């Protein structure tokens, strides 16, 4: 195995570990913050702070991804770019389409689902692009 592949695998392990810890922390903070918003004091400022606290681990996940992206080889960067392009394009189409359907009487959806959709489509895009280069 060459040095570049070894560095990429090491970056991948570090990224996955950091990303999973960030997502676990996000999940715990989300549950705690929602619980405190619903059952805690009714201070508007406290509710605002509690609502945004779960975003903090997302920045750690982003930092881990950017480090991972910096360490991978050109083929892996191309796979990530294709996956992100697929995710962006499909998410735009789905959200714009559903936004128009809301005018036809469909129920309004929360914006929180946009990020979830993008992440799922990004993961699918990585698998599709990876298969293309095998």
pLDDT for res 102? 96
Q: Quick one: tokens of 26? A: 């996000």
Q: Quick one: tokens of 79? A: 């796979």
pLDDT for res 8? 66
What's the rounded Cα separation, in Å, for the pair 119 and 105?
27
- Residues 8-54 have pLDDT tens digits of 678 889 999 999 999 999 999 999 999 999 998 888 999 999 999 99
Q: Do 68 and 100 have their domain in common? A: no
Q: Do 62 and 125 have their domain in common? A: no
The pLDDT of residue 1 is above 60: no
Residue 107 and residue 43 in contact, taking contact as beta carbons nearer than 8 Å: no
What's the rounded Cα separation, in Å, for the pair 4 and 85?
25
The pLDDT of residue 63 is above 90: yes
| pTM passes above 0.75 | yes
Matching residue, tokens 């392009």: 85
Work out how many domains the chain is built from and give that number.
2
Residue 77 and residue 69 in contact, taking contact as beta carbons nearer than 8 Å: yes
Give the containing element (helix H, strand E) for 97: helix 74-103
Domain with 20, as residue range(s), is 1-72
The pLDDT of residue 6 is above 70: no
């Amino acid at each position: 195995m060459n040095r570049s592949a070894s560095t990429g695998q090491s970056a991948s392990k570090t990224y996955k570990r950091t990303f999973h810890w960030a997502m676990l922390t996000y999940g715990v903070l989300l549950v705690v913050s929602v619980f405190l918003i619903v059952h805690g004091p009714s201070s508007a400022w406290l509710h605002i702070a509690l609502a945004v606290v779960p975003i903090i681990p997302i920045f750690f996940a982003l930092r881990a991804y950017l480090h991972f992206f910096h360490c991978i080889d050109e083929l892996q960067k191309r796979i990530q770019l294709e996956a992100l392009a697929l995710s962006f394009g499909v998410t735009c189409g789905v959200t714009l389409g559903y936004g128009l359907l809301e005018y036809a009487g469909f129920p309004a959806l929360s914006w929180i689902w946009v990020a979830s959709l993008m992440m799922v489509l990004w993961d699918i895009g990585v698998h599709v692009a990876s298969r293309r280069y095998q």
